[in-house]
Amino acid sequence: MEHGRNIDALAADAIDHYMFGLARMEDIRRDGPLIYTEGKGLEVKDAAGKSYLDMMSMQTRATSLGFGNEEIAKAIYDQLCKLHYAGCFANVADTTIRLSVEIAKRAPKGMTHTCYGGSGSEANELAFKAAKQYHHATGRKPRAYKIIARWNAYHGATMGAQAATDSLGTRHASEPGVPGYSHVPAPLNYRNPFGMEQRKYYDFCIDYLEQQILHEGPDYVAAFIGEPIMQTFGVQVPPDDYWPRVREICDKYNVLLIADEVISGFGRTGKWFAMQHWGVTPDIITFAKAVTAGYFPLGGILVKKEIAEAIPHFLHIQTYQGHPGGCAAALKTIEILERDKLVEKSLSNGAYFLDKMKRLDNLAIVGETRGLGLWTAIDFTSNKKTRATLQQEQVGKIAKRMRQHGVLAGQNVYGIELAPGLIATQSQLDRCVDVAEQSIKEVMKEERLG
């Protein structure tokens, strides 16, 4: 009873004093906020003492090494005691340089330079500024300022990153936004907005990009940005020829290719960077989240050598860029990923997981299960013939039911997304599939579906 009162008091304090990001206050008031108090491995406890298996790396896919990793916590502590800050301008900490070297070793060939910010949004801002300053510096396209992004993409919350963003509705409420952004269709699995045959739709997406560059004027287009695997509607793995052909188009018009690897970087898909699945070297990669396994806010850009070297004076400064605490966390994260072969395990355990998930395809409301590495999704449908979407509220009920059964999954519009920490064991993956199956069946029965 006493315990219950404490939770209620905490929830009331949350409502009275905390502004939730992207959660409706009416939902928070009705269902209560989700207050967590501690975690170990992939198990996390809420304020009522209930334990959950976190199969979504805390919804944002940041906690890629689970909770309570003392090695990373100690690396941060030791660094903060030794040198917690080194300034900016020409100043830099030794730890920050060491991180840049370690990232370059694992990057697509030729990507050598890094610059840091504090988040994925800042990483994308950095990328846009680097792209514009590159064109200005080389003098070949001195007026190139436009950015082309993709329908349904998410690139962040700051104004430039948000202008590139097209999901979650966040862009509209804050408009007018930053000028110079336009959007093109992106590859989607299972269904597409035009009802085209899928292969035709993929070709259309690629052709559309070229037409958009021509329409905007190649001399004005600085960069094209895309998530290698778009998150919206659940893990949109593109066809194998998509990124190679996009690379060719970007090269043809001297448009820089920015790969937003804020989710997919550092092992999520079974490679250090997802673009390595297709052997494509972007001009700039943006990263955040798993670079420190969520133990410290850090993001950044990884830039091709010739692009970094063509910018003689990068006009950008942030007080906390390359913060030594974050860089120490990232160095330890990389060391653990390598030592425990977690990038390789993400690929093999991801294949194991997807294979187990495939049995869900037999359920009447499951349209498709898909994924790459430890990043998978269940795409729901109300009609397998037409591939019509299931109602979002019904998908939400499935995610909620999984939570009631002790497994945290993410709703991604019409699908359920699963992105566990890379330390997930096969028995945890099995449990997740069992709980997903049970929850889907229960909701089907209650909602009279299928």
Q: Which residues bind ligand PLP (CB under 6 A)?
A: 60, 119-121, 124, 154-157, 227, 231, 260, 262-263, 288, 299
Residue with tokens 């020409």: 90
Distance separating alpha carbons of residues 286 and 103, to the nearest angstrom = 12
| Chain centre to alpha carbon of residue 366 | 24
Nearer to ligand PLP among residue 32 and residue 234 (C-beta): 234
Residue 406, phi then psi, degrees to nearest 5: 90, 15
Cis preceding linkage at 176, omega within 30? yes
**E strands along 28-106, which residues?**
36-40, 43-46, 51-54
Contact 360, 370 (CB under 8 A): no
Nearer to ligand PLP among residue 32 and residue 300 (C-beta): 300
> Residue 389 and residue 367: Cα distance in Å, rounded?
9
CB of 364 to ligand PLP, least distance (A): 31
Residues 6 or more apart whose CB falls under 8 angstroms from that of 228 comprise 238, 243, 259, 260, 261, 264, 269, 273, 274, 275, 277, 278
Residues 6+ apart with CB under 8 A from 389: 191, 380, 381, 382, 414
The answer to whether residues 142 and 135 touch, using CB atoms and an 8 Å cutoff, is: yes
Closest residue to ligand PLP, based on beta-carbon distance: 120
59: left (phi over 0), alpha (psi -120 to 50) or beta: left
The CA distance from 104 to 107, in Å, is: 5
The minimum distance between CB 297 and ligand PLP, in angstroms, equals 7
How many CA atoms are closer than 13 Å to the CA of 47, on its beta-carbon side?
16
Report the residue number, 299 or 421, with the smaller CB distance to ligand PLP. Answer: 299
Q: How far is the CB of 131 from ligand PLP (least distance, A)?
A: 16
Which C-beta is closer to ligand PLP: that of 130 or that of 433? 130
Give least dist CB 120 to ligand PLP, A: 2
Joined tokens for residue 395 = 């998908």
| CB of 178 or CB of 444, closer to ligand PLP | 178
* Nearer to ligand PLP (CB atom), residue 72 or residue 291: 291
**Which residue number, 210 or 283, has a Cβ lying nearer to ligand PLP?**
283
Which run of H or of E encompasses 212? helix 198-216
Judged by beta carbon, residue 205 or residue 298, the one nearer ligand PLP is 298
CB-nearer residue toward ligand PLP: 56 or 429: 56
234, two tokens: 């659940």
Name which of 123 and 250 has its Cβ closer to ligand PLP. Answer: 123
CA angle (227, 231, 237) in 5-degree steps: 70
